[in-house]
A = this chain, B = another copy of it.
Amino acid sequence: MSTTVILANGSFPQATVPRKILQNAQRIICCDGAAATLLKANLVPTAVVGDLDSLDPELKRQLQDKVVHIPEQETNDLSKAFRFCIQKKWTDNIVILGATGKREDHTLGNISLLVDFAKTSPDIKMVTDDGCFQVLLDSSTVDAIPGQQISIFAMVPDTPIQSTNLKYPLNGLIPTAWWQATLNEATDTSFTLTFPDNHPILIFKANCL
**For A204, what are the chain B residues with a Cβ–Cβ distance below 8 Å?**
103-105
Which residues, 63 to 115 on A, are CB-close (under 8 Å) to B?
76, 100-113, 115
A132-154 vs B, CB cutoff 8 Å, 1 = contact: the mask equals 01000000000000000101010
- Chain A interface, number of residues (Cβ within 8 angstroms): 34
One complex includes copies of this chain to the number of: 2
Once A104-B133, A177-B116 are accepted as A-B contacts, the answer to whether A109 and B182 lie under 8 Å apart by CB is yes
Which residue from chain B places its CB closest to the CB of A105 in the assembled complex?
B151
Once A76-B179, A76-B183 are accepted as A-B contacts, the answer to whether A104 and B112 lie under 8 Å apart by CB is no
Cα-based distance from A149 to B109 in the complex (angstroms): 14
Interface residues, chain A, CB within 8 Å of chain B? 76, 100-113, 115-116, 128, 130-131, 133, 149, 151, 153, 155-157, 177-179, 182-183, 204, 206
